[in-house]
Chains A and B, each alone.
Chain A
């Protein structure tokens, strides 16, 4: 597709439920990022992939959060046993290969997660 595609756009989960958020990056973008954005705040880095390799997961808030990109294209962010503080917008982004700090990161529209 032309841009970064995320699904579902909106998800309401009961506390304790597992959720899976999907991201389809821009074709040809080997770098893929996940960010978490709480209401009224800027995005916070969660994790980064280069192709299928997860090179940085330092931003994942707990071991309930897990991300994968098995074939180097589509990525899934999974949250186990959701809690209310997980309510946020989860933004996926992609860019051209690294090596230059000027590579722009392009974002999807986000998956809005509400845990009730």
Chain B
């Protein structure tokens, strides 16, 4: 069963505007971590932001914030003040429980920032 769902294959945003990339997840564990990665055309997976299942506050890292809605099992990424360099693939991922050894990724969303 798909554990991470990203329903937006592609998104467009105007430069300097904010954009939200959707992510829903499925787990029965109480302890889990949610991650967002950016993958530019060079191929490297760049860590952006992390949200723990027990964290009460939404995570923020500079222009990135994570809109964590635990009851709905969603972990949307919000990018504020989009820049041309934000154009890339974005992946949502989850790591479950303790002593886990796997990180499950969604299919990704391709973000294009228009000038």
Contact = CB atoms under 8 A, between A and B. Distances in A.
B56 interface: no
A113 B96 CA distance: 30
A38 to B, nearest CB: 11
Contacts of A110: 43-44
24 contacts: A31-B101, A33-B103, A41-B107, A42-B93, A43-B91, A45-B102, A45-B104, A56-B102, A89-B43, A93-B45, A98-B99, A98-B100, A99-B98, A99-B99, A100-B98, A101-B97, A102-B33, A102-B95, A104-B35, A105-B47, A107-B46, A107-B47, A109-B44, A112-B43
Contact of B33 (A43, A91, A101): A101
A101 B43 contact: no
Contact of B50 (A48, A91, A104, A108): A104
B31 interface: yes
A66 interface: no
Interface in A63-116: 89, 91, 93, 98-110, 112
Interface string B28-46: 0001110101000011111
Interface residues of A, number: 29
Contact of B103 (A41, A50, A100, A105): A105
Interface of B: 4, 31-33, 35, 37, 42-47, 50, 52-53, 91, 93, 95-108
Contact of A42 (B32, B43, B96, B106): B106
A48 B101 CA distance: 6
